[in-house]
């Protein structure tokens, strides 16, 4: 659940947060989107389209609030991260 914690707190190897510590690091997503954010990764990034159904099975709208705060949402988030490798360097 380490990556789930990173997602919940926003302290992760993504976008603006990581670029604060490693200035040479781009804030862009590897998919080409100009800004890699939690919402982009969970809701929009084409790199994870194949596994996004896990999140949609929990909540069709992929509500970040619900994913991060409800027990079943956190479980869905953990499954999504395990399958996609999201939130890894």
| pLDDT score recorded for residue 61 | 97
Contact 1, 10 (CB under 8 A): no
| pLDDT score recorded for residue 11 | 85
Boundaries of every domain in the chain: 2-84
CA dist 67 → 4, 21, 25, 33, 87 (Å):
10, 27, 28, 23, 15
Q: What is the pLDDT of residues 24-74, one digit of tens each?
A: 888 899 999 999 999 999 999 999 999 999 999 999 999 999 999 999 999
DSSP per position, 12-56: SSSHHHHHHH-TTS-SS-TTS-S---HHIIIII-GGGGGGTHHHH
Q: Pick the residue with more confidence: 2 or 67?
A: 67
| pLDDT score recorded for residue 82 | 94
| pLDDT score recorded for residue 10 | 85
| pLDDT score recorded for residue 2 | 87
């Amino acid at each position: 659940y380490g990556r789930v914690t990173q997602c919940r707190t926003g302290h992760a190897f993504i976008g603006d947060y990581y670029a604060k510590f490693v200035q040479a690091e781009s804030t862009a997503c590897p998919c080409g989107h100009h800004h890699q954010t939690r919402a982009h990764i969970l809701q929009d990034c084409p790199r994870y389209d194949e596994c996004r159904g896990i999140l949609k099975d929990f909540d069709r709208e992929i509500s970040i609030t619900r994913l991060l705060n409800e027990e079943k949402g956190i479980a869905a988030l953990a499954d999504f991260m395990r399958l996609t490798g999201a939130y890894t360097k």
